[in-house]
Chain A
Amino acid sequence: MPKQKKSLSLSHPTPETRLDSCFAALKEKKKAAFIAFITAGDPDYDTSLEILKKMPGSGADIIELGMPFSDPMAEGPTIQASSLRALKAGQTMKKTLQMVREFRKTDDTTPIILMGYYNPIYVYPVSGFLKDAHQAGVDGLIVVDIPPESDEELCLPAMHENISFIRLATPTTDDKRLPTVLQNTSGFLYYVSSAGVTGKAKLDESSVKEAVGRIRKKTKLPIAVGFGIKTPKQAAKIGEQADGVVVGSALVDAIASTLDENNKATSETINNINDLVKSLSSAL
């Protein structure tokens, strides 16, 4: 299989999506993109949709929407809990795509990327998922458990549906491996600031600077940085080096901390996350 990959990839179209125009426009303004993560359906479908709709107005340039999964192996406790809340409230892959469709009725410019794990896509199955995702208005995918060695599983088919497959590069991705990671990546490259799970990472700004500089030499793609960014101050620092700043666990926490004892949304839920989106985005 790997032997065929190179020749196959040459015939694969590079997707052009809202991600490309978004990063191009921000580059003009010399501003880093604020990429805001929430889990779709957390704490319930309606609240989550309302949060989603308000995000661009509060300063989110790109929205990363988590596809809930029962076994999110790369997530820390915060995002694990949000995934389980969403599933308990009845979220499914179909409903996640429905959320994107609803969002697109009033917003046709803000890029949306779906982030998650392969199994729910695999059983959907892949071809139907990609068609439905494209029609719903999805621009990109981050699927944590499919490495570039398995590009034919989802990455290449996604490119044919004009959906960008966004890869993660990590501190263990050395110069020798970087070209493999970059090969079929489009939209942007997501640099994971530390080895570990989401929400638990400690941000080391100087090592991020070194890594971003190293990756820039190998690609013209925008580079976004995530893992461990929680405060406006950290966001501003990372925004000086990267083209995009991803915040996930801190936003999910802003939802979680307002829920009642039954994990139901309260009157503060939407405002609380909205305020955090505002303060983080204005730091960039």
Chain B
Amino acid sequence: MTDTSHLNSLMNGPDDSGQFGIFGGRFVAETLMPLILELGEVYKKAKNDYEFKKELEYYNTYYAGRPSPLYYAERLSEHLGGAKIYFKRDELNHTGSHKINNCLGQILLAKRMGKTRIIAETGAGQHGVAVATVCARFGLKAVIYMGATDIERQKPNVFRMRLLGADIVPVTSGTGTLKDAMNEGLRDWVTNVHDTFYIIGTAAGPHPYPEMVRDFQSVIGKEAKDQMMKAEGRLPDSLVACIGGGSNAIGLFHPFLDDKAVEIYGVEAAGKGVETGEHAASLNGGQPGVLHGNRTYLLQDDDGQIQDAYSISAGLDYPGIGPEHSWLKEIGRVNYVSVTDQEALDAFQLCTRLEGIIPALEPAHALAYVSKLAPTLPDDHLMVMNLCGRGDKDVFAVAGYLGMDI
């Protein structure tokens, strides 16, 4: 018997060459190609390996604290009027964000490949902290590339990484933010390819990274699906998540892609407004191009030079986006919208006051869109928002924006 039901599925990507439609691929230097191909093979094997699955589940449960709760945000729902809003509480994970889901998966792969040295890039520092954490846990050396600008605005996370024993390399090339940190990460990898594993933090980069990161993050959506069935006896009507590179978003969205009745919203950072040019909205304000190993939407000028992204949130401050999101935009499955710094700051405070949860500035963008959308919907509309990180790291920056002295 042949099961053909999967043929029209939106969950089959990428193809063998690592592409989602025209997006994705493996655009890397020859030095890295043999390793990238090997990683693809190792991942393919691990994915179908029961032992690997069990091991990852073990660490997800007992180390990261999964499953994260699906929480009915009652007061926020009442305040906004309209949709019934649920938070997927990935900010409760160990290390305070969804980043740990991916890091646990990748470090287990690194060990399988016999690599002894881990490198990573980080923007807000959430991924860097998660990498430093798993490296401490598994006894591997961690070298984290972080833009000098970001080191300045994310001091608490820099200190956490150092406590965990990681080396932080400040990146001053380019503009000293996430994209430059990723460039330096790739330069390190090319140089130390024999013993080094690159834990990319977002669902971007050369194949198999977008697929791999998505799979490790899909635990978010799978849990949410089960939890919503238990809570309400049916699937949600809509999903909302913030997008920088898009790892938390693809993690929530992917298990729902074939549930056509579920409306999906990805929220980009509009910074000071997409029309001002100072933003990080690659899908709403960029063009397809090739950077960091994949073809995807990028912020760039007419000459193909990459432009700097801007956002109040260091975690969304990236001029590209995961290739699967570019594809989901092109086929129209996901609605990609954007909210400004100010809207995110307002939502940050609203959530803090109404729910007693201080969100990170990244999911505050998703919250801002929820605040706009929920009031327009009927009260039997079920909405799930991914609260993918907690805001402790942002309190200094927010105090600054609000003109408070702490």
Q: Which residues of A contact B (CB under 8 A)?
A: 1-2, 69-74, 76-77, 80, 84, 87, 92-94, 117-124, 144-147, 149-150, 167-174, 177, 181, 192, 195-197, 200
Q: B371-395, CB under 8 A of A: which get 1 and which 0? A: 0000000000000000000000000
CB distance from A216 to the nearest CB of B (A): 18
A122 to B288, CA, bound (A): 9
Q: Which residues of B contact A (CB under 8 A)?
A: 16-17, 25-35, 173-174, 179-180, 183, 186-187, 190-194, 287-293, 295, 298, 300, 302-307
Residues in B with CB closer than 8 Å to A181 are 30
A119-B304 contact, Cβ under 8 Å, with A177-B34, A195-B31: yes
Closest chain B residue to A150, Cβ basis = B25
Partner of A120, one of B28, B303, B307: B303
**A2 to B30, Cβ gap below 8 A?**
no
Residues in A with CB closer than 8 Å to B179 are 71
**A197 to B191, Cβ gap below 8 A?**
yes
**A71 to B30, Cβ gap below 8 A?**
no
CB distance from B245 to the nearest CB of A (A): 15
Closest chain B residue to A176, Cβ basis = B34
Residues in A with CB closer than 8 Å to B194 are 195
A181 to B192, CA, bound (A): 21
List, sorted by A's number, 17 A–B pairs whose CB atoms are closer than 8 Å. A70-B305, A70-B306, A71-B183, A72-B183, A74-B29, A119-B298, A123-B287, A147-B33, A149-B33, A168-B29, A169-B30, A172-B30, A172-B34, A173-B33, A181-B30, A192-B31, A195-B192
**B34 to A70, Cβ gap below 8 A?**
no
CB distance from A117 to the nearest CB of B (A): 8
**B193 to A119, Cβ gap below 8 A?**
no
**B31 to A172, Cβ gap below 8 A?**
yes
**B34 to A71, Cβ gap below 8 A?**
no
Given A93-B304, A195-B193; 19 other pairs, CB 8 A cutoff: A1-B17, A73-B29, A77-B173, A80-B173, A119-B300, A124-B304, A145-B29, A145-B290, A147-B26, A147-B27, A147-B33, A168-B30, A172-B31, A173-B33, A177-B33, A177-B34, A195-B190, A195-B191, A195-B192
Residues in A with CB closer than 8 Å to B303 are 92-94, 120, 123
A91 to B26, CA, bound (A): 28
Closest chain B residue to A200, Cβ basis = B191
CB distance from B178 to the nearest CB of A (A): 12
Q: Which 8 A-B pairs have the closest CB atoms?
A: A120-B304, A123-B304, A196-B191, A70-B305, A170-B31, A119-B304, A145-B27, A92-B303
A150-B191 contact, Cβ under 8 Å, with A71-B179, A122-B290, A174-B34: no
A76 to B28, CA, bound (A): 16
A173 to B293, CA, bound (A): 18
Residues in A with CB closer than 8 Å to B298 are 119
A124 to B289, CA, bound (A): 10
Query: Is the contact region of chain A dominated by helix, strand, or loop, or is it mixed?
Result: loop
CB distance from B113 to the nearest CB of A (A): 14
Residues in A with CB closer than 8 Å to B307 are 70
**A150 to B27, Cβ gap below 8 A?**
yes
Partner of B186, one of A73, A120, A168, A177: A73
A200 to B187, CA, bound (A): 11
Residues in B with CB closer than 8 Å to A149 are 17, 26, 33
A117 to B289, CA, bound (A): 11
Residues in A with CB closer than 8 Å to B293 are 145
Partner of A118, one of B27, B33, B287: B27
**A147 to B302, Cβ gap below 8 A?**
no
**A119 to B30, Cβ gap below 8 A?**
no
A150 to B179, CA, bound (A): 24
**B28 to A145, Cβ gap below 8 A?**
yes
For A120, A167, A173, the residue with the greatest tally of chain B CB atoms inside 10 Å of its CB is: A120
Partner of A119, one of B26, B183, B289: B289
**A118 to B34, Cβ gap below 8 A?**
no
Closest chain A residue to B15, Cβ basis = A1
A2-B16 contact, Cβ under 8 Å, with A119-B298, A192-B30, A200-B191: yes
Closest chain B residue to A81, Cβ basis = B173
A145 to B183, CA, bound (A): 13
A181 to B193, CA, bound (A): 19
**A71 to B25, Cβ gap below 8 A?**
no
**B187 to A73, Cβ gap below 8 A?**
yes
Residues in B with CB closer than 8 Å to A171 are 31
CB distance from B269 to the nearest CB of A (A): 20
Residues in A with CB closer than 8 Å to B173 are 77, 80
Residues in A with CB closer than 8 Å to B26 are 147, 149-150
A118 to B289, CA, bound (A): 9
**A71 to B291, Cβ gap below 8 A?**
yes
Closest chain B residue to A146, Cβ basis = B27
Residues in A with CB closer than 8 Å to B183 are 71-73
A74-B190 contact, Cβ under 8 Å, with A145-B28, A172-B30: yes
Partner of A123, one of B29, B32, B289: B289
A170-B30 contact, Cβ under 8 Å, with A119-B290, A195-B191: yes
Residues in A with CB closer than 8 Å to B288 are 122
CB distance from A253 to the nearest CB of B (A): 17
**B29 to A144, Cβ gap below 8 A?**
yes
CB distance from B317 to the nearest CB of A (A): 15
A200 to B269, CA, bound (A): 37
Closest chain B residue to A83, Cβ basis = B305
Partner of A167, one of B27, B30, B180, B304: B30
A69 to B290, CA, bound (A): 12
Residues in A with CB closer than 8 Å to B305 are 69-70, 87, 120
